[in-house]
Every structure is written in C-alpha cells, then in structure tokens.
A = this chain, B = another copy of it.
Amino acid sequence: MTKKCIGVDIGGTTVKMGLFEIDGTLLRKWEIPTRKEEDGLHILPDVAASIRQVLAEEKIELIDVAGAGMGLPGPVLPDGYVERCVNLGWKNLNPQRKLSDLLEGLPVRTGNDANVAALGEMWQGGGKGYKDIVMVTLGTGVGGGVVIDEKIVTGRHGLAGEIGHIRIREKETEFCNCKGRGCLEQVASATGIAREAKRVLAAGDEPSAMRRFGDKITAKNVLDCAKEGDAMALEVMETVAYYLGWGLSIIAMTIDPEVFVIGGGVSNAGSFLTDMIEKYYEEFTPLSEHTAGITVATLGNDAGIYGAARMILE
C-alpha cells in the first residue's frame, strides 16, 4: 500500500480534513465543528479522534500514513510554536507536537492557513506545475502566502505573506485592523471594495446601477455592475486593480515568482479582474518583459487541506 497523508485546516467554526494519496489525489474529505470552549482545549483531541475514526473506516493503519499537516488561523513560528491564536483561544502552545503525541508520534507539520493554502494551490490548484508562487486571497480580508522552491516562506517572525498589510495607498485616512493606514486589505478585500463603492457613490450623484443596493452593497454587486458596464462600478474596480497591480509589481521586483495566484471570493470574477490587475502590474514592471503571470485559484475552500497534506511531503 502506498503511503497516505492527511491535511487538517482548522478554522474558527469548523475543522476541515482530507485524506490524500501522496500524489495529490483526494480520497475523502470531511469536517467536524471547532470546539473553542475552555481555550480551545478540545480541538486537537477532537481532530485526533476524528482522524482515527476515518482511518479505521477506510481500513488504513496509522503506520501507513506519512503524516498530517495542519493550517491554523494565525501566525505560526518556524518550529510550529503558537504564541497566540485568538480565533481558537490558544496561547503558548506547540500544536504540532501535541497532535503528534495524540497520534502515536505521527509526523505533524503546522503553518499559517493562508500560507498553507498557497502551498495547496501550488500542488494541485492554480499554481500547479510551478515551484515559486505568491497567492493573494481576496476575501473578507486580504491574505497571502509565499512559496519559493516548493516550500512555504514563513518568515522569521511569522509575518511572511502578510500581503494584506502592505501599505500601498498613501492618502488613506481610515485605519486598518492592524492599526496601519493604506493597507492593501483596505482597498482590495471584499469589505474594501464595498467600502470604496460607498465612497464613490457618496462623492457624487451620477446615476449608477450600484445605487439600488444602498448601504448593503457587496463586492459581488460592484463586480456584477462593473461587468455590465456601469461607469461608477468600473471606476471602483479600476482603483482596486491599480493598487493590486502596484502591490504585485513590488512583490515581483523583490522575489520574482513564476506566477501570482489570486484566490478568495472576489477572484470568482475571473479574467475580468485579472486582466484589470495585469494592466497596472505590467505598467509598474517595465524592467523586464519576462515577469510572473497572474492566474486564479482553483481549489476554493479545499486549498487548506491540500496545502496542509503537502507540507508533510516537503
């Protein structure tokens, strides 16, 4: 029997898990609730029990599993140590050692969820076939992950891939969650796009298809209106694409990946979005005709379990 590997993606509400062949074939995926009570004390025992149960059902022995990878919603130090994970209630814990102990010494690796998702997209998603990718996830916030030579770049303080918090908009007046001003997240997340639309709508009184959504307008509404040719919605998306293209150009001049993979809900806009980003990205990378391309993620919410499982194969 060839070895299997397991990917665990621990989120604030559910823990997603996947059982994989080491060639990347997903054999089975399942999820359990994340029990955050008592400082998240039950999470890892729950995960271990669930893995044992599924392996028993699949008639796979622990010895036939190469290991388990785990993505967490917070910063993870290079040795797997977690100082604080607000979303799970954890403090000063080495979850990879603990899960390993609960599974008879099974090799366990841990990473930040956004970084892990980037590795998943490199393995079996939008970045398949590449070794150096930067993933940018445009969701409620903006997350990121940097993979060089098929390995996650964690950074010495666990901050690598915090692309949502690169300062890019000099004249921003509101504060970001990180206490900075002008973060990429403030303009390019789903929240940021909706906010930008409200700003543009409030600044003038021209007619716009966006007006019918009022204060409840979402990034999807803005993108739909832009695709239909609404001038104000297009203006909003040009602003978003300008800052994204600029941010990616800076990353390209720093680490020069093979490809940028855009994920998250906003990336459902597909080439409509990536074409706009690419226009500015190319304008801001005149140094060479050969730079990283821009593509979209394909694994959706499964990127985390794929990447977690892939960590074991490093």
Contacts and interface: CB of A to CB of B under 8 A. Distances in A.
B257 A179 contact: no
Interface string A9-40: 00000000000000000000000000000000
Interface residues of A, number: 45
A165 B287 CA distance: 7
A241 interface: no
Contacts of A160: 254-256
A240 to B, nearest CB: 16
B288 A157 contact: yes
A174 to B, nearest CB: 14
A255 B257 contact: no
A287 B170 contact: no
A155 interface: yes
A249 interface: yes
A256 to B, nearest CB: 2
Closest 6 CB pairs of A and B: A155-B256, A159-B256, A160-B256, A179-B286, A157-B290, A178-B287
17 contacts: A134-B254, A153-B255, A153-B256, A155-B255, A157-B256, A159-B256, A159-B287, A159-B291, A160-B255, A160-B256, A162-B254, A162-B256, A163-B254, A165-B253, A166-B250, A178-B286, A247-B250
Interface of A: 75, 132, 134, 144, 146, 148, 153-163, 165-168, 170, 178-180, 246-247, 249-258, 284-288, 290-292
